[in-house]
Chains A and B, each alone.
Chain A
Amino acid sequence: MAQQVTAGRRYLRAFVSGFFVAVPVTVTFLDRLAYVARVEGASMQPFLNPEGESKCDVVLLNRWSVRNYQVQRGDIVSVVSPRNPKQKIIKRVIGLEGDFIRTLGYKNRFVRIPDGHFWIEGDHHGHSLDSNSFGPVCSHNVLGDGCWLGVRRWLDPHVSMALGSRKQIRLKRLISRHYDV
């Protein structure tokens, strides 16, 4: 009887100590390093969620690389939507602060991106809620940099496994870049 009590107490102690190790480490990992997200919607077609596929794409979002809020043109990033702070959207970065952009359907035809902001657009123009609707996005809203696609898409010959292939992206609407001197 006494042995059962001590065994039960031992299990409880082990559970509590394991809990207080596992939960903070997992939460810190998901907040600071990387997390996996499912992409829903058609705004990044044909790159993500191409037509004809029944299941949604899964991406790995790298939070460590955006810890200083530095992104590159052509990156696929996940940001908090400026219209709805509970919603996360995944789009491509077209321009950084200081760049001049020719817009598609925004209230101004040409926009100079202010400091601390960047311009995002979905690949599927017309079916995308992006900077053409709500304007430049604050750098702090960025959540993660998309770096790897889920395993299911690796067999697709048109898609490279790593999402950071910026050379394939033609940024047609970038009029002039802002070079850091």
Chain B
Amino acid sequence: MLRRMLGKTLGFVGYTIQYGCIAHCAFEYIGEFVVCSGPSMEPTIVNHDVVFSERMSRHLCRIEKGDIVIAKSPFDPNMNICKRVIGMEGDKICTSAPSDLFKTHTYVPKGHVWLEGDNLKNSSDSRSYGPVPYALIRGRVCLKVINRNFSFFIFAKLDKPVWFKSLLHGFELWSSACA
């Protein structure tokens, strides 16, 4: 009786460990869903949007200029930031505001990237805290969930800004027609 209960408990613990490890591998090497908060990426990603970020690009070092990435904050390792990559290592970045008379430039050092939010007026990014080391990047945002009632998921691809706008418009028309 006791032996059977012990056997069942050990089996349950074994299954928990196995599925926990599979979940860890999936979140670490394939991708995860992220809830974004804050206005710094409007109009691409607004407050309380759910996005899917994939991890393979980061492990294979295939993050490119123009990608939206999720990264760890340089000042608080428990906080994540969601920004767009403006420059890779070696690129020349214009750091002065468009209204300034004298333009200042900086070069992104080796092993770092320059991140900026799409909503330049309301975003604290590399313009305030400097280039971010590449190792802090967690994943690349590739899909955004735009269906609000979640009965089925409709995704919009977030690769290039121009394509995204037309695709998003098309999906919104379709989902409002379905609803």
Contact = CB atoms under 8 A, between A and B. Distances in A.
A4 interface: no
Interface size grouping (class) on chain A: 20 to 34
A84 B110 CA distance: 7
B47 interface: no
Interface residues of B, number: 25
A140 B76 CA distance: 9
Contacts, number: 68
Nearest to A28: B21
Nearest to A83: B111
B18 interface: yes
A20 B13 CA distance: 17
A128 B42 CA distance: 44
Among B17, B28, B61, B74, the most chain A Cβ lie within 10 Å of the Cβ of B74
Given A83-B111, A86-B61, A115-B76, A31 B24 contact: yes
Among A23, A69, A138, the most chain B Cβ lie within 10 Å of the Cβ of A138
A35 to B, nearest CB: 14
A25 B22 CA distance: 7
A69 B22 contact: no
Interface of A: 20-21, 23-25, 27-28, 31-32, 68-69, 80-86, 114-117, 138-141
25 contacts: A24-B21, A24-B22, A25-B17, A27-B24, A27-B29, A28-B25, A31-B24, A80-B133, A80-B135, A82-B111, A82-B112, A82-B135, A84-B111, A85-B61, A85-B133, A85-B135, A115-B75, A115-B76, A116-B74, A116-B75, A116-B76, A117-B74, A138-B136, A140-B135, A141-B136
